Amino acid sequence: MNTLIAVAIAPFGVGDEISKEVAEVIRIIRESGLPNKTNSMFTEIEGEWDEVMKVVKDATFVLAEKGIRTEVVLKADIRPGYTNMLNGKLDRLDRAIDGTSKNDSEMESK
């Protein structure tokens, strides 16, 4: 089932600057081949549930296997029958802001 997640994976106890460790996490996510977007707080990943969860596990364990205490914050949106939620949600929001919103039954994402 198609799933969109927002995940933040961060190390603890490695000092104030964590960009090196976060870069390792993001590299794993990007190399997964699943659609993803990273912003300053979260990375969104879209795909089948098992594929997405495997990427989260791999990205988490890249730090944990080095003995680094690792925190994971995850939010999931499972919407049966929909794909391209990574972009589709924002497209629908932009249309709503512009006043050109269609209802879900008219959306092509199903």
At 99, list the tokens.
């006043």
pLDDT at 77 over 50: yes
Say which CATH class 2-103 falls into: alpha beta
Q: What is the pLDDT of residues 35-73, one digit of tens each?
A: 999 999 999 999 999 999 999 999 999 999 999 999 999
Residue boundaries of the structural domains of the chain = 2-103
pLDDT at 101 over 70: no
Q: Are 37 and 44 in contact (CB under 8 A)?
A: yes
The dihedral sign for the CA sequence 42, 93, 88, 78? positive
Which strand (E) or helix (H) includes residue 5? strand 2-12
